[in-house]
Amino acid sequence: MDFKKITDEIVQKSGGEENIVSLSHCMTRLRFIVKDEKKPDLEGLKTIDGVISAVFGAGQLQVVMGKNLLPAYDMIMKKYRFSGEEGGSMPEKEKKPKTIKSLLIDLINFIAGSVSPMITGLIAGGMLKLLLMIIVMILPSFEKTESYSLINFLADVPFYFMPIFVAYGASRKLGSNPIYAIFVACVLVYPGFVALVENGGTTHIFGLPVLLIKYSSTMIPALLSTVAVYYLEKFFNKIIPGILKSVLVGMLTVLTASILTFVVFGPFGNLIGNIVVGGFLWTQGTIGPVVVGLLAALLPFLVMTGTHTVIAPFMVQSFANPGYDPYFKPALILHAMAEGGAAIGVGLRAKSKTLRSEALAIGFGSIFAGITEPAIYGIALKYKKPLIGVMAGGAVGGIVAGLFGARAYIMGKTTILAMPIFQETLITMLIACIVAIVVSAIVAFILGIDEGEQLKQQNNVTSTPRVSESETQIVSIVDGVSFPLSEVKDEVFSTKAMGEGIAFTAKDNVVVSPCSGVLTTVFKGGHAYGITRDDGVEILIHIGINTVSLKGKGFNIKVQQGQRIQAGEELVTLDLDYLKTTNLDLSVLLIFTDPKEKEIQLLGYGEVLNGQNPVAEIK
């Protein structure tokens, strides 16, 4: 490879030398900080010889080079001498003036990021309510028991104390002190204040009127109060002398923020919430069916671009007030049904047995497990035509759901098995799901896909010498849970640009080798390892997303580059307590970066033990 030519093209298509502030790298990617993110040509970068992919992520232009990384990095640094530290964090980008568009994007990202952490809690509470509802349907007398009452209290917690959960998520998003934010949010649901609200009348604080409003199950007041905490804390830290900071900053921050929340932000946030609810009710009575259909049809693109998280705040607001969701949860479920239907349509039409079994498995997984990423990236986006079926199925199913008034009353999973959350509209939603599956399957079946190249490759495969069973197995690298690579929150890994693989959520702090071979690469930060098997197959172990920025903190390396290792041998131990405080994605990835034309067969997902459970076979 001509790395001089390759790197010159990379710099040019990154916006030119003058657009690059700094450069560093991790195990697989060149990481540029650029002045203007509009100048890099991502599609052009992807066409350069030796470049696997190019994406923006974590505020960086990331050019994925794989095994070509180090020669490319060395050539660029030799010729251009950009600033930046290998494997380290980079200087902040130059601040650019804010536009209305950028401010709106920042606002949406802030709200979505603030609400997202509590979604799992809302789902847990919703599923508890669903469990109680099913038990009462079978055994009506259970509703009068003390057990029912206590579990019902538990199920109400994430909804009643929503301001506290919102404050926690918003403080994490802003980077402020979460204790101060939660402190101020707690006063909105404090029993004494709730009693004042229930008794009615008026009250004042330092002569300023305080509207007695019920803030339980609200979202916007806590968002505003946390923003106030963030700026007030910075202000008081700036003006108060160092010796008094520990005594006065916290007290003045929570006191001032609470007064502002009682007098201004609480009532204003409540007003905005009521306007949003009014908008929901108006659209439901006028263009409701169109809204559900359009949202379900557009969801594949929202998921692909990662903007589907903007739905979360509105969905949460719907469950809080008016108490049901006629749009967002129905659309999300119908999108999953349409993805599954399209994959089934592809499977029924496929000539290749491998593709048929894979597509059918993906389709049923989307419908019954609610896991849509394999269907999106492995079927719809990969073959293009099935995407039309997904949109058609989502649109028609959404219109049916909207016309007949399907409503989700409880937060639940995005699967056909969650139909009870629709309560008296269950039959309506079930019909809409069936319509979405059937329409998308029919459209995908009729349009078909181009299997010519895939079949050609299968027919041209030459036989290879058999190896022993032990040499074919790849074992789990952690104690924990394995899941599809397509669910990783990183485009390069999830789209399998680096290769086929499997992801893990680690429950223990040890990461081991998945096979025997030679450690050809040990990244000095400890977050990535390259292993070459005796048959030449190259495997990458990558711990976390953007963990290169930690400069090795939290990673205790147990091996050396060039060392021969055995399957199950320790590579690194992790300081999970510290790593969890970084708020980085800690998914542990096993990627087959160069399978040497061998077939990689994944063996399913679930609970695994390091060095024991096979997770893949190389044939």
- Quote the DSSP letter at residue 61: E
Q: Helix or strand or coil: residue 294? A: helix
- Quote the DSSP letter at residue 511: E
Residue 249 phi, psi (nearest 5):
-60, -50
DSSP 109-120: HHHHHHHHHHHH
Residue 342 CB partners (closer than 8 Å, separation 6+): 363, 375, 379, 380, 386, 387, 389, 390, 393, 440, 441, 443, 444
Which of 302, 313, 312, 314 has the alpha carbon at shortest distance from 339?
A: 302
Are 244 and 251 a contacting pair, CB within 8 Å?
Answer: no
Which of 429, 440, 426, 369 has the alpha carbon at shortest distance from 398?
A: 429
Rounded to an integer, what distance in angstroms lies between the CA atom of residue 546 and that of residue 312? 25
Which of 89, 234, 90 has the alpha carbon at shortest distance from 174?
A: 234
Rounded to an integer, what distance in angstroms lies between the CA atom of residue 232 and that of residue 234? 5
If you compute the radius of gyration of the chain from its CA atoms, what whole number of angstroms results?
Answer: 27
Which of 36, 32, 39 has the alpha carbon at shortest distance from 57?
A: 32
Rounded to an integer, what distance in angstroms lies between the CA atom of residue 402 and that of residue 417? 20
Are 61 and 40 a contacting pair, CB within 8 Å?
Answer: yes
CB atoms within 10 A of CB 486: 20
Please give the structure tokens belonging to residue 38: 């509009």
Which of 351, 597, 591, 379 has the alpha carbon at shortest distance from 453?
A: 351
Q: At what angle do helices 288-305 and 266-286 cross, to 10 degrees?
A: 120
Instruction: Name the active-site residue from 26, 186, 433, 515.
Output: 26
Is 433 a catalytic site residue? no
Are 614 and 475 a contacting pair, CB within 8 Å?
Answer: yes
Residue type, 134: I
Percent helix, strand, coil in the chain (nearest 5)? Answer: 55, 15, 30
- Quote the DSSP letter at residue 350: -
Can you give the three-state secondary structure of 534-568, one letter per residue?
Answer: CCCCEEEEEECCCHHHHCCCCEEECCCCCCEECCC
Helices (H), 480-549: 491-494
Rounded to an integer, what distance in angstroms lies between the CA atom of residue 439 and that of residue 442? 5
Catalytic positions, written as ranges: 26
